Amino acid sequence: IVFGQMDPGDFMDAYPLLSAWTAFMSDAFFNNPAEALPQQGVGFVTRLFLTDHYYVSGGVHDALADADGFNVAELLDGEDLFYWAEVGWAPSKKSVPGDSIHLTYWVQDELEEKGTERSRGLALSIAPQVFDRYLPFLRVGYADGDATLMRRIWAIGFGVELRESDLFGLATSWGAPVEPDTRTQWTSECFYRIQMTDHLQVTPALQITRDPPFNRVQNTIFVGSVLRMRLAF
């Protein structure tokens, strides 16, 4: 049971490569664009293992969260909330959230402040770790309402641990935006995380977006990052 200031994405629909610090940077793989995840704020999360492998979890969060505030009243008044529930299988209790196969259902209240209607959706994530070094994944999402970026999305890819701590990742996704009469988008990303020292990581990466729905000038956009560095102790 967890209560306090939190990022809902740390608990809901998580998988092993869900970290912009150490893995994919594109929102197509870093989060699920077919989910109306609120910002960091006040929330409540609980998880229960029914057996050694099967679990249920869920949470309630302030849908108008502000990372600079801690407004418990917003959570207790029963309005402007984001709810989610998840059922799944995991190889061990320690691997959740992350290494698991799960189905997530979420609901967000109507938000007059943002002008979004009541929205809901489903997400499926299949991301079991294989042979301790391979991290394949398949993620699918569907949203009903206008609170998300994408109406439908699927993403497939993998990560593989090389040497002692290096990580190579490759993924592609397809998404249909919520906005009507917009073209669907393809996104791909490739990265290689190099463990330079015990504390320093360098991660060159390349992102390719094909047919961006809100950019009629360019059909293909390339984004390269060569200086992403992480120092951790």
pLDDT tens digits, residue range 140-165?
999 999 999 999 999 999 999 998 78
Residue, of 58 and 40, whose pLDDT is higher: 58
Please report how many Cα atoms fall inside a 13 Å half-sphere around the Cα of residue 231, on the Cβ side.
Answer: 1
Q: How far is CA 220 from CA 150, 173, 217, in A?
A: 19, 14, 9
ω into residue 97 within 30 of 0, thus cis? yes
Angle at 97 between CA 104 and CA 225, to 5 degrees: 95
Mean pLDDT of all residues in 2-29: 90
Mean pLDDT of all residues in 90-118: 90
Whether the predicted pLDDT of 70 surpasses 80: no
pTM: 0.89
Strand partners, 139: 125, 155
Within 8 A by CB and 6+ apart from 83, the residues are 58, 59, 60, 61, 106, 107, 108
Mean pLDDT of all residues in 49-63: 94
Model confidence at 227, in pLDDT bands (50, 70, 90)?
A: confident
What local confidence, expressed as pLDDT, does residue 103 receive?
Answer: 97
What average pLDDT does the chain have? 90
Range of lowest pLDDT (5-9, 99-103, 171-175, 184-188): 5-9
Compute the distance between CA of residue 223 and CA of residue 230 in angstroms, rounded to an integer: 19
- What are the two backbone dihedrals, phi and then psi, of residue 169, each rounded to the nearest 5 degrees? -135, 145
Question: Tokens 């407004």 appear where?
Answer: 71
18-47 exposure pattern, b = at least 16 Cβ within 10 A, e = fewer: beeebbbbbebbbbbbbbbbbebbbbebeb
